[in-house]
Amino acid sequence: MKKIILIENFGSDFYKARLSFAKYLKSEGFDVSALVPEDDYAVLIENEGIKTYTYPFSRKNKGIGQLFRLIKTFRKIFKENDFDVVHSYRFQPNLLNILSNLFSKRKSILHVTGLGLAFSNNSFKYLTLQYISQIIFQLKFLAANKVIFQNGDDANDLWLSKLWKSKIDVIEGSGVNVNEFSNNRGLSSRDLFRTKMDVPLGHMVFICTTRLLWEKGIVEMVEAFSALQKEHTPVQLWIVGWADQDNPRHVDTAYINQFSDHKMIKFLGKRSDIKQLLEAADVFLYPSYYREGIPRSVLEALAMGLPIITTKMPGCKLTVVEHENGFLIETKSSAEILNAIQKIRDVANLNLFREKSRQIAETRFSNEVIFKQIKNLY
């Protein structure tokens, strides 16, 4: 029986995005463990039947001291448990994976869930970080057994990717539970929820669920819907998510508070009723120019059968078949958002878009499809 440990840098992300994969592996006969930071989610993961190890981690601590401490912690856990495969997600866990497994027989699988903030900006600061990241990626390629990317563009944008192509696999996204995210509530329940959310009769609701970073297109969405308000267009915008205070590009509270009493633009904060919000909405809007793999929020919207408006960014563009389940737009443009909104409102039969979104989720991005591809790598 193969022993596998899955590593994340957020306990919450493991619980929401990796737990179902861990359970799948367990059902397939693997001995699966989790390695997450010390937080409240570790106990929740353990209670779901996945053996869980923790490590002390501070996102605010950028010093080399924490890196060496974590390498020591990881090596001890790996050695004591004799894992066959160490599968990590995201930039820092991927780095810790290879540094902790140098000169061992354990297999290292690195999962790149996007190139992140450094590849989303062209300022001198971020170009410098991008250069450093490129160097670190070469070390990762050298030491890893496999590197999984969620879209081909991310792999191609890294130096010497053709040299490492035997180690690279593209698996589109982390999967979505199409049984959980299924629009099966009746119209009466949907109408009641829209009434609770103060949606006027006949208004079209656009929803965006995301971490509140400027690169997610927050300003562009607000500008577009501010223009629609002046034209008295019957629409609403729900922006759902939290401002990651540890991220230097988080949307500040003062900006959000400007819209506390706005009738058309609503910042709803972090919510536990995402599925109900998606059911009540009409269109999913995601004008991001952040370098992500394939956003989980878009996959959830697809599974719920929502038409999609998103950008031509790597990852995002893979979720839309133009004119069949939504529209692709250029980045950093409120005019592009306005144009796409008008196109959606002009669609004669939006149910066809909804059916296509659901079909895409089931055939390309479902847990069943994605999990089998990852298992085959093992």
pLDDT interval class at 82 (50, 70, 90)? very high
Q: What is the mean pLDDT of the segment spanning 318-342?
A: 98
Express each pLDDT in 100-149 by its tens digit: 999 999 999 999 999 999 999 889 999 999 999 999 999 999 999 999 99
Q: Give the CA count within 13 Å in the CB-facing half-sphere of 311.
A: 23
What's the mean pLDDT when you consider all of the chain?
95
Angle at CA of residue 125, ends 291 and 293, nearest 5°:
10
Quote the pLDDT of residue 245: 86
Is the predicted pLDDT of residue 63 greater than 70, yes or no?
A: yes
Give the three-state DSSP class for 372: helix
Domain covering 187-365, topology = Rossmann fold (3.40.50)
Express each pLDDT in 264-301 by its tens digit: 999 999 999 999 999 999 999 999 999 999 999 999 99
Express each pLDDT in 207-263 by its tens digit: 999 999 999 999 999 999 999 999 999 999 999 999 988 889 999 999 999 999 998
Alpha-carbon span 86 to 3, nearest angstrom: 9
Quote the pLDDT of residue 185: 65
Give the three-state DSSP class for 139: helix
Quote the pLDDT of residue 188: 78
Q: Give the CA count within 13 Å in the CB-facing half-sphere of 269.
A: 4
Alpha-carbon span 150 to 172, nearest angstrom: 4
Is the predicted pLDDT of residue 1 greater than 80, yes or no?
A: no
What does the DSSP 8-state code read for residue 199? P
Find the radius of gyration of the CA atoms of the chain. 21
pLDDT interval class at 55 (50, 70, 90)? very high
Alpha-carbon span 93 to 9, nearest angstrom: 6
Class for domain 3-176+367-377, per CATH?
A: alpha beta
Quote the pLDDT of residue 9: 93
Same fold, 3-176+367-377 and 187-365: yes
What does the DSSP 8-state code read for residue 40? T
Express each pLDDT in 342-355 by its tens digit: 999 999 999 999 99
Express each pLDDT in 155-188 by its tens digit: 999 999 999 999 999 999 999 999 999 987 667 7
* C-beta separation of 150 from 112 below 8 A: yes
Q: In the chain, what are the domain boundaries?
A: 3-176+367-377, 187-365
